Structure 1
């Protein structure tokens, strides 16, 4: 009996080892194919986000192809509208930034660095002197052999990267359309591969993961959009030339907790000091982001997002940074889906653990049904213990 138990444990360990090897192989393959997989992942996310609307249109009597065409056209029009509004706006803001670069340079060298030097007693101005930098490069030029070759290789790689980016952008709408059209078929085929004994559990976990992540992404996108518009208009009302650009950046970075308002406050404060040089406009910048944070915390996030993902902000930051470190831009795209699925699995594991014998112990838990405030009877002093044997 003991020998059969040992063989069973060894077989189970080897099976788990095989699954771990398969998981590591999949991660390695994703790392290798990250640039190729990026448009497929974006298209799959678009198809997954648009599928509920397609299903709703189907329930009204429309065919799948008609519903997919309507939803895809709506998504394409929204993207086109966003590009028509944002691209000229961002172009003008970048042109303003380029024109303002000399002022930022003068403020940085003439105001910021001396203030930092006075506070820290470090000589930083020397390192930002143009003549000193040129002399430093000239003195180390011989040590930097092969610079031309390195630059040419970088330029050639950059050219291929640009071509790959253009190809991915052109491929994205095609992939999104097919994912949107065949999403239910893909889900059904994936479900057909699940072992029948585990189909109910896997279906429940997949449904919970989809609901959690879909609600979070849709709500978070709306929060980013509203905050970007709010910050941009607020900074523009304060009088910052780059207010709209800073507001857009802060709205986009809102996806990572605390990074959006922190980056907006830093960039807005610098822009206010460079443009006006007084603390009144800095106070205006702080007021814009303070009001924005109050609206986000007490209205936007509870109404649009809520606690749908169930992840702590530190976990979200770690997931995004770890995904970017491991798999680049693809990892950042997959970070929150993987984190949401992992959170659902952890809740399921906790549920199984609290129902297991390991948690409850070998002996059943005795629950005393007593009224509130009743004194705890001492052992041997209960009515049952005072009864004689055979007494009812």
Structure 2
């Protein structure tokens, strides 16, 4: 890069960061639309390769995504609400079992006396939070309708998502080609290479990992429903979401499912079937889902995944959560290239740098000695 290009890159980076920071409150629908367009672009490309026009391909994909969303809203959300209500009703029984069986064991093993008043307060807090969660849709609607301005903003943001998705999906390849044409010619090959590697990583995560999460959630929910667990859908959804961190989904899901099975059944056989369900899910994830849908392109350590999600939420709220893992995946690719450049440079190659300094010093001494000899002559 030339010095002028470095200055312009610095200015552009500062402007982009300031742009995102100042417009953060309105970016959520655009980011959601961009995410949906990015996920659906390969499907539209395949349809276009079969002879369908780009607009026709986008319409087919868009209609399919809309039907899936409507199906999820009409079938999944009401069932989740009912299962949360079931969990609330089972909580007193579970709390009584906890106080009668688990608390005495903890006190015996640790020697710590658990105050009954503290237990009652914890029970009230958990029950209150669950009761609020059961009516989360009504709470969102009530918050959105407190004023006419907030209602209009809420509806506008919701309506913007499909509009942004449609137009971005239709013009995705055109925008990518235009950005490539605007790049400086001496930087275009390397930037295109980096962008291609970032696209591989993002594709593995956005299209692959999210699909694995959805598939695992469905496997766990269906399997637990076959076992007869009342909270099958709720536990399946939570386990699928937790699967964004490797092994966290099976730990969270299996623990919740075993507790729910102990509360619901009087025999030990359902506990075995619960373990079988999660064992099958792990086998399918390890041998089928992850190798075929994700591969080894993400390469993010589980601790990095947790930190990225928490940091994104802390810094930018919901928008930060949306951006956290894609940004972490892109940063990983860029850092790999930077570290490779660093290891090939003089800052890392200390021996080579020292040899170069010694050679320059010796050549300087030889030069000065030659000058002295010439002066004496």
**TM-score of the superposed pair, with normalisation by structure 1:** 0.72
Partner of 1:5: none
Partner of 2:368: none
Stretches (4+) displaced over 6 A: 155-158, 160-163
Partner of 1:148: none
Matched residue of 1:197: which SS?
coil
Tell me which of 237, 240, 259 is aligned to 2:226.
237
Question: Would the aligned equivalents of 2:254 and 2:275 in 1 still touch at CA under 8 Å?
Answer: yes
Question: Would the aligned equivalents of 1:257 and 1:317 in 2 still touch at CA under 8 Å?
Answer: no
Tell me which of 147, 170, 187 is aligned to 2:159.
170
Give me the whole-angstrom Cα distance separating, in 1, the residues matched to 2:143 and 2:287: 50
Partner of 1:123: 114
Change in CA separation of 1:157 and 1:277 when aligned onto 2, cut-off 3 Å: same
Q: CA deviation at 1:40?
A: 0.6
Partner of 1:72: 62
Give me the whole-angstrom Cα distance separating, in 1, the residues matched to 2:151 and 2:105: 42
Q: CA deviation at 1:216?
A: 2.8
Matched residue of 2:158: which SS?
helix
Partner of 1:145: none
Gaps of 5+ in 1: 1-10, 135-154, 365-392
Change in CA separation of 1:60 and 1:343 when aligned onto 2, cut-off 3 Å: same
Tell me which of 97, 109, 125 is aligned to 1:107.
97
108-117 or 215-224, which moves further after superposition?
108-117
Tell me which of 175, 178, 190 is aligned to 1:201.
190
Question: Would the aligned equivalents of 2:204 and 2:295 in 1 still touch at CA under 8 Å?
Answer: no
Matched residue of 1:308: which SS?
coil
Are positions 1:54 and 2:41 aligned together?
no
Question: Would the aligned equivalents of 2:28 and 2:319 in 1 still touch at CA under 8 Å?
Answer: yes
Partner of 1:141: none
Tell me which of 240, 244, 254 is aligned to 1:255.
244
Superposed CA offset, 1:173-222 (max 9, x none): 11111111222333234334432321111111112211221133222122
Partner of 1:83: 73
Q: Aligned runs of 1:128-207 on 2, under 5 Å?
A: 128-129=119-120, 159=146, 164-207=153-196
Matched residue of 1:61: which SS?
coil
242-251 or 27-36, which moves further after superposition?
27-36
Give me the whole-angstrom Cα distance separating, in 2, the residues matched to 1:133 and 1:300: 41
Coordinate RMSD, CA, aligned: 3.4
Q: Between Structure 1 and Structure 2, how many residues are aligned?
A: 330
Matched residue of 2:186: which SS?
helix
Question: Would the aligned equivalents of 1:113 and 1:124 in 2 still touch at CA under 8 Å?
Answer: no
Give me the whole-angstrom Cα distance separating, in 1, the residues matched to 2:329 and 2:84: 36
**TM-score of the superposed pair, with normalisation by structure 2:** 0.75
35-44 or 347-356, which moves further after superposition?
347-356
Partner of 1:337: 326
Give me the whole-angstrom Cα distance separating, in 2, the residues matched to 1:353 and 1:47: 36
Partner of 2:286: 297
In proportion to residue count, which structure has more helix?
2
Name which one, 1 or 2, has greater alpha-carbon Rg.
1
Question: Would the aligned equivalents of 2:103 and 2:114 in 1 still touch at CA under 8 Å?
Answer: no
Partner of 1:267: 256
Change in CA separation of 1:298 and 1:199 when aligned onto 2, cut-off 3 Å: same
Partner of 1:386: none
Change in CA separation of 1:207 and 1:159 when aligned onto 2, cut-off 3 Å: farther
Tell me which of 214, 239, 243 is aligned to 1:225.
214
Change in CA separation of 1:101 and 1:300 when aligned onto 2, cut-off 3 Å: same
Question: Would the aligned equivalents of 1:232 and 1:245 in 2 still touch at CA under 8 Å?
Answer: yes
Superposed CA offset, 1:334-367 (max 9, x none): 1121112112212222343454455563679xxx
Give me the whole-angstrom Cα distance separating, in 2, the residues matched to 1:340 and 1:241: 38
Change in CA separation of 1:289 and 1:354 when aligned onto 2, cut-off 3 Å: same
Question: Would the aligned equivalents of 2:239 and 2:250 in 1 still touch at CA under 8 Å?
Answer: yes
Give me the whole-angstrom Cα distance separating, in 2, the residues matched to 1:221 and 1:77: 18
Change in CA separation of 1:297 and 1:185 when aligned onto 2, cut-off 3 Å: same
Q: CA deviation at 1:31?
A: 4.4
